Amino acid sequence: MSMFADSLDQAVQRAFTRPAPKSAGAQMRYLVKQYKGTRAVAQLLRISQRTVERYVKDQIKKPRPDLAARMDREVKARWQPHIRAKAKERAATTGGIVIDTRARLGYTAPIGSTDQDRIRHLTVALPPQYAARLFDAQEAGTTDQQLQEIAAEALKEIYFQDSGRRAGSLEEVRFTDIEHLDFDL
């Protein structure tokens, strides 16, 4: 499960101005229009071309749960690309991104400080450069671990070091055992 990538996608999807198609038939018709044919959609969803055609004609209305999830994911990944791009651009240049997480956070620091990992619930506004790094890394297809490292670096600088005003000797922030993670633009 890619928790970071999914959470970034959900943050961008909240910027949509119109809701994505909900019914199986509407979703399938949208995908067929996007891919310009039923064969490509059948290959994408790993089902037969005939099954795609039956959804398009509303002869089948209720997909299996795994197929419903794939259809929903594929539709949302292609829905309102201009709105998606504008939301990412705004976050990466002016707005920044908010991370809300409940996770085990600790850090590596000089001897004598309390670097004990503990569960913390943080809601932190990250500046635009971190939003840009997260979205660029996601588009480059990086792993969730790499996205997690970018978020940990951002939390180190913004939350723990207060943009250089404290904890200057802090070396590394550990971000593990994530119970909850949500991004918002």
As a three-state string, the secondary structure of the chain is: CCHHHHHHHHHHHCCCCCCCCCCHHHHHHHHHHHHCCHHHHHHHHCCCHHHHHHHHCCCCCCCCHHHHHHHHHHHHHHCCHHHHHHHHHHHHHHHCEEEEEEEEEEEECCCCCCCCCEEEEEEEEECHHHHHHHHHHHHCCCCHHHHHHHHHHHHHHHHHCCCCCCCCCCCEEEEEEEEEEEEEC
Q: Per the structure block, which two tokens stand in for 81?
A: 């690309």
Q: How far is CA 123 from CA 25, 74, 102, 126, 156, in A?
A: 39, 30, 9, 10, 13
Q: For 162-179, what is the mean pLDDT?
A: 76
- What's the alpha-carbon Rg for the chain, to the nearest Å? 20
* Mean of pLDDT over the chain: 89
Residue 112 confidence (pLDDT): 57
Residues 6+ apart with CB under 8 A from 95: 128, 131, 185
pLDDT, position 110: 61
pLDDT of residue 174: 80
pLDDT tens digits along 26-78: 999 999 999 999 999 999 999 999 999 999 999 999 999 999 999 999 999 89
Query: Is the pLDDT at 180 greater than 80, yes or no?
Result: yes
pLDDT of residue 2: 80
Which burial class, exposed, middle or buried, applies to 14 when counting CB atoms under 10 A from its CB (0-12, 13-18, 19+)?
exposed
pLDDT in tens, 104-142: 887 776 665 555 778 889 999 999 999 999 999 999 999
- Examine the pLDDT at 177 and tell me if it is beyond 90: no
Of 159 and 133, the one with more pLDDT: 133
Number of Cβ within 10 Å of residue 172's Cβ equals 14
